[in-house]
Amino acid sequence: MYRERLSRTLPEVRDRVARAAREAGRDPAAVRIVAVTKGHPLEALEAALEAGLTDLGENRVEELEQKVGALGMGAATWHMIGHLQSRKAARAVESSHLIHSVDSVRLAQKISRAAGERGTVAHLLAQVNTSGEDAKSGLAAGEALAAVLEMTELPHLRVEGLMTMAPFVDDQAVLARTFRVLRETLAAARARNPALGAELSMGMTNDLETAVREGSTMVRIGTALFGERPA
């Protein structure tokens, strides 16, 4: 079922990404598709890998661990994209290649320590609440620059860039503004510390075109690839 669905949906998603990239004068290959498999069974992940997707995203540590346990760390590039509690930092370091959702310096410190204890370097993105909505996690836009620069000073870490979630609206201007704030925050931070990476994780099923036009390097796509998540 997932294999058949992806044979239709993956070309559609690739096409949406490519068209938006070209509209903005960008190379479509500069936008990675992270397949968000949360809530879907292992068959979905296996079908995604077969279809040529290499980046898989999960939003809960427990589910990530289960799926990594079943398929192996080497089967994919594993992305932890959901809110992460500090006490689960070490588990996220263990079971992912990139943590998108680092929303405090304290959490980055926990991740740094966990990576140091394992003798590895953790790769992460700082999550910024660019929309200012109370319900969204992430660094407040006003404090993001200082916090991100502080994260880049921690050992055993590489800050690859920034991540945001847009508000759930159709207003293109509002969406574009939230993504632009992320891009400008990254540019300001990189001007201060060029060691900071250039990744912008932004764009989901409903807003990927706007995100790509505003410079996204990673879109996180669930519904458009796999359909509605089972309840």
- Region near ligand PLP per CB under 6 A, out of 7-15, 69-77, 135-143, 218-226: 218-226
C-beta of 79 vs 213, nearer to ligand PLP: 79
Is residue 221 part of the contact set for ligand PLP (CB under 6 A)?
yes
Residue 204 Cβ, how far from ligand PLP at the closest point, in Å? 4
Is residue 223 part of the contact set for ligand PLP (CB under 6 A)?
yes
Is residue 38 part of the contact set for ligand PLP (CB under 6 A)?
yes
C-beta of 149 vs 174, nearer to ligand PLP: 174
Residue 222 Cβ, how far from ligand PLP at the closest point, in Å? 3
What six digits make up the tokens of 191? Answer: 């001007």
Residues 72-101 that bind ligand PLP (CB under 6 A): 81-82
- Region near ligand PLP per CB under 6 A, out of 104-112, 139-147, 180-188, 214-222: 214-222
> What are the DSSP calls for the chain, one per residue?
-HHHHHHHHHHHHHHHHHHHHHHTT--GGGSEEEEE-TTS-HHHHHHHHHTT--EEEES-HHHHHHHHHHH-GGGSEEEE-S---GGGHHHHHHH-SEEEEE-SHHHHHHHHHHHHHHT--EEEEEEEETT--TTS-SEEHHHHHHHHHHHHTSTTEEEEEEE----S---HHHHHHHHHHHHHHHHHHHHH-TTS--EEE---TTTHHHHHHTT-SEEEESHHHH-SPP-
Residues 161-190 that bind ligand PLP (CB under 6 A): 165
In this structure, the dihedral spanned by the alpha carbons of residues 27, 29, 32 and 37, taken in order and rounded to 10 degrees, is: 120
Residue 220 Cβ, how far from ligand PLP at the closest point, in Å? 4
Exposure string over 118-140, b if 16+ CB within 10 A, otherwise e = eeeebbbbbbbbbbeeeebebbe
Is residue 222 part of the contact set for ligand PLP (CB under 6 A)?
yes
C-beta of 47 vs 113, nearer to ligand PLP: 47
Is residue 12 part of the contact set for ligand PLP (CB under 6 A)?
no
Task: Report the alpha-carbon distance of residue 32 to residue 217 in Å, rounded.
Answer: 6
Which of 6, 35, 36, 93 forms a contact with ligand PLP (CB under 6 A)?
36
Residue 173 Cβ, how far from ligand PLP at the closest point, in Å? 20
- Region near ligand PLP per CB under 6 A, out of 45-53, 68-76, 170-178, 217-225: 217-225
Binding site for ligand PLP (CB under 6 A): 36, 38, 59, 81-82, 165, 204-206, 220-224
